[in-house]
């Protein structure tokens, strides 16, 4: 996979966390479960060791995280 900004090859790795990592449109002041509308859980294995695959461009300082939609 290549960087969308500079076109160089991205480095594949993982994001590891002590808690679930969530994309949300609004900044939340404390850890809250993802809402049903708009929030996206980026990590899997949230009870045992939250993690997600990620790709980094060290030149552009971008991290790209692919995710899968959960079944509704």
Domain ranges of the chain: 11-64
Is the model's pLDDT at 33 over the cut of 60?
A: yes
pLDDT, tens digit, 9 for 90 and up, residues 10-32: 999 999 999 889 898 888 777 66
* pLDDT band at residue 58 under the 50/70/90 scheme: very high
**pLDDT at position 50 over 90:** yes
Q: Which pair of structure tokens corresponds to residue 50?
A: 């939250």
Contact between 54 and 13 (Cβ < 8 Å):
yes
What are the distances in angstroms from CA 72 to CA 18, 29, 32, 46?
A: 26, 27, 19, 18
């Amino acid at each position: 996979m290549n960087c969308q900004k500079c076109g160089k090859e991205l480095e594949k790795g993982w994001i590891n966390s002590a808690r679930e990592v969530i994309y949300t449109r609004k900044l939340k002041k404390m850890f809250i479960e993802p809402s049903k509308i708009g929030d996206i859980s980026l990590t899997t294995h949230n009870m045992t060791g939250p993690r997600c695959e990620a790709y980094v461009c060290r030149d552009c300082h971008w991290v790209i995280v692919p995710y899968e939609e959960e079944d509704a």
